[in-house]
Chains A and B, each alone.
Chain A
């Protein structure tokens, strides 16, 4: 038998697909992965910066929840990110990989700013708000429509197309700033904030944004789950063959969905300019168009879960900024920490879907 034993090379472990696991177990796996991420982040902090990780985590919380003002700003930023994430979600559910949210948001920003600049003073303040909102929605929708039309009629690759449209949008903003002479001093590329056409204050600067996005979240949840159009999106996303078989016009659905996706991006642009910055630059969207992709994916395209994922990402953004400031660390360090956490969250999905079976040690004894 000894000679057979040496021939055996049973693998140390093999991977087995799990059947469905109860939702609470899945959340335990996710919670453990976040805890592990915190532990790894702490070690990385010690190794790279020689700082006390407890202090670093403390600073992180201070950065996100330190004062009432910070908490309001935290929730405002969560809302803005959530808004863009909600915008990309219907497209993603349709398996249309819209990577152009950044550009669609920027077009909303540009439209808002331009409307206020050109119409400001000629119409009443509420009308100005309505017109600039409409302009933002249309601009975002058009930016979403162009790649959708090319996808529907010429089968162009939507990922590359939408990605390229981002650069066009950035270029358009730079061009407008120079061409319409919006700069406050020539050549500075800095545009002073608008004084008119701003969102009204309710309680404080942020509440209107937060409430608007809450409404959009509810709308998107109902739209995706309880309307005929939402149902068509799911069918097209699952299988174009089934959609054709059942008589859904796939081209129409793609174009309609991208109009909605783009318009909500445009709304996010309006909120950014009219409710937050008051000004416009190629960096106004601040990468939200790309972070939104992550928010949407991590939440598995569920608008309600997206509240949690956008919270997580914005919390880390705020916290990391604070540690960078209080420990005089390089900006990149906070990105490393965020990266580790996201890695662990995504990795946890593997353990939710699969389990690892170790070699049985008793067999070796034979």
Chain B
């Protein structure tokens, strides 16, 4: 048995209540191989990996490491079998240095000696070409550096099997290239790497083999060299779909929302918006590109009246020709002015919707105040709920189901449906397709395009540059709260936008 796999899963199943998260999954990864796990959200990728890394325990099935059957009941067990997982959310102590974070929690019986640990960390960084200083404190680091620390952390603990859960979601195109180079070097060193992703181009450029999951089941494992985007999409979704966004040319545009020089500080006194200016026009989709957490959330919330500003103004020009300054107004006051502003926030269940309430009561959020009665009117929200469930094909037992019990895509359809039903003049959407499957994503893109054609000024905050470039008429780029450039969605390239995302202004980039 020379050809034993580094890790092998046999007939793994895991259930959550009535939901079958993984059903009879078989998977094997060789030494010195990069294996991509591809699947839509909710297809069971993360659950499967969590069972290897000891966070969940499988209901059925066996796990073999180097040919031997093992039982992994905790992350500590996983480390003992040289398995390390890098999660989407980093778990680092801000005030500690890279080295301190890396050795944190290690209990190998040896004396704690930071200088020795630092030497070992340097050894690892040189070996694989990481670009990081072992003495830098976490709070001084960029997201990509923090991710590097997490990767070194598992290498330091001697991991031979590395699992990365959507590692590119928070990175710029340039940082992604760097990460991939490091991962290839690790593969050549004989390590097994499993990378969870739903981005097709990454799968094709990085991996050796791809395992596709759909609805908890393992559909196929294919050699990357002999596959294509369309084949993988078909395996992933279960049917052929076209991935085209129908971008129409804007017509009858006028300046609907003029934001000039707005700045804002957060509760810790850090500047989150720095003299931001832009214009959103009716009949146009304005994209906002940037690394996650660069001020996109604050920008949209400032327009919605939720984020106090220190300077600047937000001018709304109504189609009837009136102008209002929205600064220093609460959401209620903005509504009373007759400004029809709809907002699909990033945090759907924490802000846009109330998870424990049913679809009817969530429809009511926007309209419950109408009328003078002290009692609620559930009739028209019920009608609206039924319409949205019907038109957007929301998969739900009925309109009285708490929205928390719906899947991510259906939650988003309910939220977007409600916001569009308010017949907005300005529609802001923050990461509206995050966590959605391909079909639902395209439903949302189509809805946004429809709104644009109806003359709505659409503002779209996105993370997938390919989509931003396909969907938006204009794209502004934000980095650390500053606008670093504006490009035409029809002509710009990914690289151009990527450079601006790191904080280089348009001039420097050219």
Residues of A within 8 A of B (CB): 4, 7-11, 14, 16-20, 226-231, 234-235, 238-239, 241-242, 244-249, 357
A17 touches B353 (CB 8 A): no
Most buried by B among A229, A241, A242, A244: A242
State the CA gap A16–B57 with chains docked (Å).
10
Interface 0/1 of B327-365, CB less than 8 Å to A: 000111011000000010101001111111100010011
Residues of A within 8 A of B17 (CB): 16-20
B251 at the interface (CB under 8 A from A): no
State the CA gap A11–B73 with chains docked (Å).
8
**Nearest-neighbor residue (CB-CB) of B370 within chain A:** A228
User: Can you list 28 A-B contacts with CB-CB less than 8 angstroms, sorted by A residue number?
Assistant: A4-B69, A7-B70, A8-B69, A9-B73, A11-B57, A17-B16, A19-B17, A20-B405, A226-B375, A228-B368, A228-B369, A228-B375, A235-B354, A238-B357, A239-B351, A241-B347, A241-B350, A241-B351, A242-B353, A244-B306, A245-B343, A245-B351, A245-B352, A246-B331, A246-B365, A247-B331, A247-B332, A249-B330
**Chain A proximity of B306: nearest CB distance (Å):** 6
**8 Å CB contacts to A: which residues of B368-389?**
368-369, 373-376
* Contact A14-B331, Cβ < 8 Å, known A229-B374, A234-B357: no
B18 touches A19 (CB 8 A): yes
State the CA gap A4–B65 with chains docked (Å).
12
Residues of A within 8 A of B59 (CB): 357
Most buried by A among B70, B73, B335, B354: B354
Residues of A within 8 A of B373 (CB): 228
Residues of B within 8 A of A246 (CB): 331, 365-366
State the CA gap A245–B415 with chains docked (Å).
13
B375 touches A235 (CB 8 A): no
B271 at the interface (CB under 8 A from A): no
Residues of B within 8 A of A (CB): 15-19, 57, 59, 68-71, 73, 304, 306, 330-332, 334-335, 343, 345, 347, 350-357, 361, 364-366, 368-369, 373-376, 405
B331 touches A242 (CB 8 A): no
CB contacts between A and B, total, < 8 Å? 85
B343 touches A242 (CB 8 A): no
A226 touches B376 (CB 8 A): yes
State the CA gap A227–B355 with chains docked (Å).
20
Residues of B within 8 A of A357 (CB): 59
* Contact A249-B332, Cβ < 8 Å, known A16-B16, A227-B376, A228-B376: yes
State the CA gap A248–B332 with chains docked (Å).
7
**Chain B proximity of A55: nearest CB distance (Å):** 45
Identify 8 new A-B residue pairs, CB closer than 8 A, beyond the known A7-B68, A19-B18, A247-B334. A4-B69, A10-B73, A228-B368, A228-B374, A238-B357, A239-B350, A241-B347, A244-B306
**Chain A proximity of B445: nearest CB distance (Å):** 24
**Nearest-neighbor residue (CB-CB) of A225 within chain B:** B376
State the CA gap A231–B360 with chains docked (Å).
12
State the CA gap A183–B405 with chains docked (Å).
60
State the CA gap A241–B356 with chains docked (Å).
15
Residues of B within 8 A of A7 (CB): 68-71
State the CA gap A325–B343 with chains docked (Å).
65
A245 touches B374 (CB 8 A): no
A234 touches B354 (CB 8 A): yes
State the CA gap A246–B375 with chains docked (Å).
18
**Chain B proximity of A270: nearest CB distance (Å):** 25
**Nearest-neighbor residue (CB-CB) of A223 within chain B:** B374
State the CA gap A11–B58 with chains docked (Å).
11
Closest 10 CB pairs of A and B: A19-B17, A247-B332, A247-B331, A241-B351, A238-B354, A19-B18, A246-B365, A8-B71, A245-B351, A4-B69
**Chain B proximity of A42: nearest CB distance (Å):** 36
**Nearest-neighbor residue (CB-CB) of A15 within chain B:** B57
B365 touches A242 (CB 8 A): yes
**Chain B proximity of A176: nearest CB distance (Å):** 37
**Chain B proximity of A29: nearest CB distance (Å):** 16
* Contact A16-B15, Cβ < 8 Å, known A242-B354, A245-B331: yes
* Contact A239-B354, Cβ < 8 Å, known A7-B70, A245-B345, A246-B331: yes
State the CA gap A226–B368 with chains docked (Å).
11
A238 touches B375 (CB 8 A): no
Residues of A within 8 A of B353 (CB): 242
State the CA gap A248–B331 with chains docked (Å).
8
**Nearest-neighbor residue (CB-CB) of A357 within chain B:** B59
State the CA gap A247–B339 with chains docked (Å).
13
Residues of A within 8 A of B366 (CB): 246
B304 touches A245 (CB 8 A): yes
**Chain A proximity of B200: nearest CB distance (Å):** 33
**Chain A proximity of B261: nearest CB distance (Å):** 25
Residues of A within 8 A of B361 (CB): 231
State the CA gap A238–B352 with chains docked (Å).
12
State the CA gap A239–B352 with chains docked (Å).
10
A242 touches B368 (CB 8 A): no
Q: Which of A17, A18, A231 contacts B364 (CB 8 A)?
A: A231
Residues of B within 8 A of A20 (CB): 17, 405
Residues of B within 8 A of A228 (CB): 368-369, 373-376
